[in-house]
Amino acid sequence: MRRLFAFLFFLSNLSIVFAQVSSVVTVIPQPVQAYVREGKFELKADTRIHFPQGKPDWATAAQYFMGVAQAATGFQLTGLPFQTTPASLRENGIYFLPDETVERSEGYQLEIMPTFVAIRARTAAGAFYGAQTLRQMFGPNMGSSTPVKDSTWTAAACIITDYPRFPYRGMHLDVSRHFFPVEFIKRYIDLLAIHKFNYFHWHLTDDQGWRIEIKKYPRLHQIGGCREETLVGHATDAPPRFDGKKYCGYYTQDEVREIVEYARKRFITIIPEIEMPGHASAALAAYPELGCTGGPYEVAKTWGVFEDVFCAGNDKTFEFLADVLKEVCALFPGEYVHIGGDECPKTRWKACPKCQKRIAAEKLKDEDALQSYFIRRVGEILSRHGKKLIGWDEIIEGGLPAGATVMSWRGTEGGVAAVRAGQYAIMTPTSHCYFDYYQSDPAQEPLAIGGFLTLQRVYDYEPVPSTLIEEEARFILGAQGNVWTEYIPTPQQVEYMAFPRACALSEVLWTPANKRARGDFLRRLRIHFRFMDNMGVNYARSYYDVKASYNGGYVSLSTNDAMAQVKYTLDGSDPKPTSPGMYSPIPLSKSTTVKAAALVDGKFPGRVLTVHYLVHKALGKPYTLSAQPMQYSGGEKYALTNGSIGALRSWANWVGLQDADFDPVIDLENTTPIQKISVNFLVGTGHLIYPPRSIEVFTSNDGENFTSAGKRDIRVDELVGNRIETVSFNLGGVGARYIKLVARRYGPAPKTGDKTWLFLDEISVE
């Protein structure tokens, strides 16, 4: 208390004016509290970095800052260890100071004065996070890995008090579907460290590849580390296509140790994932005796869920896993090992005599209970090595093993069930945390697995379910962003899919909920983009994407960035800085191609939006539907008559109904001669989007009595894969005010019996 009083007295004598979270603090994630003062601290070639002697972790934090600062500035900074905390701080010094009065273990206080900088923390981890904040305070050029010439290195004077909201702040990377070199894994870890993540979930094994060397079982990487070829295009494409190229890769144990040590120096704990009992094709290809049928098995060359899994009735399976996990535990010093536990079909177990014998001998209820037995035995293996088990939320099925931590990915239910059982949960639902999903208009994005997760939706995520009371909420450790790589073959594409969504998640996990503000985050993100530019990060620029909407004969264009100006053309050419700006809605009098892009600081950082508008007699006309779309409404009030046809991968532009017929009635508002009516429908059988059985058109003058004007039966079994189909009807100039179109649903999907979707877009009338 005496120290705090003296510190405040010192500040008051400087006549410093404080301002809460000023615009000069552009750090991501947002600090808990920031007060700005007059003046700046300048980093110079002779600035000294002071840190405590005999504390290796503190030296690591200080040396990390020295390294990144030297890389960007070209200065050869000097580090000076001290034996006792200095009573006064010298001019032109940056100090890393242990301070037991800092309450939070990962918290810090950053004091930037015109004459010195002090980072106070209780732990070296807190000091490291303070150094990351200081790095950003020096501006975007501090992200450069090569010296930036003619740059002045100043940071605004301020006091920042900061600590994380959650103890678990994670990012994941799947290296099984696609393998990434050691240098990129290190770069990925660096990107996580900048954003104050403290866990890296390394998904090392799956059906498509075993990526870690196990000395006792060399065939795991020799055979399991290679697949014969890889799927080209989407898994739902029919027929499937392959590249014909053998695909191999694994990390040696020496490389794993190198990466673990690299992460340790950035205060990141690596959690290895060894998948079991499902997603085991690669392991079974190497050691077929561990499966229920004995094989032969192959390393999967397609994506999905496979029926061949580890045999739960075979004691050799558990001997194998004990040996594997012994080596894994020795490589990773963290407290957690992830064992997967997800998407494990029970087909083989139901037919396997050994598994059925195990169920009987252990008096288990069914195959779900057998999975729980399996997970429990693996948990016992890990506990012998002093490790804790983490699994995906399927480990709850059949009974949650005691002491296990649940990663809740299929919504929040798994996490809620875990905490109500008194066990910890990490939230990672597909709705907010799956960064392999599309992040912008799929029609303009690289091929992805599907889904749709925008930057804004990630930022709006609340990891603690509202159904939990305060006592239960403490069992939510945090959350994690997942990067599954079926459709992410290169390091550049990993960066594109992960960032800037990981920036948003970092703030969700670090900053207090009541301090978060989307508008302010976007302001800071625009500056942070320059920091990542200097790092050479291939982040997605969908933040600058332009959106178009149609209403009442006019097109409006908008973008997320309030500082950006939307430029557009109507002649098919790309926008230029001199093109017209979007100041008022654009009238549509004829069929037009609108191209638009966001202009920022004289440049177009995002993509060019291209929308083809078809002007026809039903454009903008109102219609009614007896069954209302819920999830897929087309994004606009009159999506079926807005003049724009949905794209193949842009489901958001289509109007979709599940297990229902389409029957829009369009009011042309006056009796109108009609020559032709056309309607488009989407086929995506792999996503349960099926063609209609038939389409019939009716006309009416009073809206009550309709006359059929034509019908088309669709040969649905010939329409597979992903495609757009158009059906047209020639009416020969018949006059009508109302048009009714009836598209009859396909019905249950073949083989599975699942409910199917019917997607329609743009009903054009000529």
Per-residue pLDDT at 16 exceeds 80 = no
Residue 555's DSSP bridge partners are 550, 586
Average pLDDT rounded to a whole number, residues 699-720: 88
Distance of CA 164 to the CA centre of its chain: 20
Instruction: Please state the pTM of the whole predicted model.
Output: 0.91
Superfamily of the domain at 542-613: Immunoglobulins (2.60.40.10)
Q: Is 56 left (phi over 0), alpha (psi -120 to 50) or beta?
A: alpha
Average pLDDT rounded to a whole number, residues 642-659: 82
- Tens of pLDDT, residues 568-622: 999 999 999 999 999 999 998 899 999 999 999 899 999 999 999 999 999 999 9
Cis peptide leading into 465, omega within 30 of 0? no
N-term to C-term CA, the chain: 81
How far is Cα 236 from Cα 229, in angstroms, rounded to an integer?
17
Please report, for residues 157, 532, 577, the alpha-carbon distance to residue 526 in angstroms, rounded to integers and kept in the order given: 22, 10, 20
Q: What is the pLDDT of residue 5?
A: 34
Q: What is the pLDDT of residue 631?
A: 77
Q: Is the domain covering 623-765 a CATH 2.60.120.1190 domain? A: yes
Q: Which fold has domain 2-162?
A: Chitobiase; domain 2 (3.30.379)
Per-residue pLDDT at 4 exceeds 60 = no
Task: Please give the residue that has the higher pLDDT: either 366 or 15.
Answer: 366
So where are the chain's domains?
2-162, 168-535, 542-613, 623-765
How far is Cα 91 from Cα 83, in angstroms, rounded to an integer?
19
| Residue 389 contacts residue 377 (beta carbons within 8 Å) | no
Active-site option among 342, 343, 659, 661: 343
Q: Which fold has domain 168-535?
A: TIM Barrel (3.20.20)
Active site residue 279: yes
Tokens of 246: 């053998």
Active-site option among 111, 174, 206, 441: 206
pLDDT band at 562 (very low <50, low <70, confident <90, very high): confident
Q: What is the pLDDT of residue 651?
A: 66
pLDDT band at 222 (very low <50, low <70, confident <90, very high): very high
3-state secondary structure of 632: coil
Active site residue 206: yes
Provide DSSP, 327-349. Answer: HHHHH--SSEEEEE--S---HHH
Q: What is the pLDDT of residue 12?
A: 38
Tokens of 69: 């600062």
